[in-house]
């Protein structure tokens, strides 16, 4: 919940993307890959870019 509070307070994009990467992995492991894949290019907005600070651990 600290991460969500920080995102709410700062709107920090790299942190949002790191959180989404974790959520995506759990969702895929739970069998929701088709739902995520249906989002198409919108996924690119939420995933960390490998060259961005979001891709690095904090």
Domain membership of residue 44 (yes or no) is: yes
pLDDT higher than 90, residue 35: yes
Domain membership of residue 55 (yes or no) is: no
User: What is the Cα–Cα distance from 20 to 13, expressed in whole angstroms?
Assistant: 10
User: What is the Cα–Cα distance from 24 to 43, expressed in whole angstroms?
Assistant: 10
Domain membership of residue 54 (yes or no) is: no
Domain membership of residue 9 (yes or no) is: yes
Q: What percent of the chain has pLDDT over 70?
A: 84
**Bigger pLDDT: 58 or 49?**
49
pLDDT higher than 80, residue 54: no
Domain membership of residue 57 (yes or no) is: no
Domain count, the chain: 1
Mean pLDDT of 32-54: 82
Q: Which domain holds residue 34?
A: 2-48
Residue with tokens 């891709």: 55
Q: Which SS3 state, helix, strand or coil, does residue 13 take?
A: helix
Q: How high does pLDDT run on average in the chain?
A: 84
Domain membership of residue 56 (yes or no) is: no
The structure tokens listed for 11 are 């709107």
């Amino acid at each position: 919940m600290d991460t969500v509070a920080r995102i709410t307070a700062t709107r920090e994009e790299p942190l949002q993307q790191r959180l989404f990467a974790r959520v995506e992995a759990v969702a895929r492991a739970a069998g929701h890959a088709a739902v995520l894949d249906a989002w198409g290019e919108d996924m690119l907005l939420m995933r960390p870019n490998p060259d961005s600070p979001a891709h690095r651990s904090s």
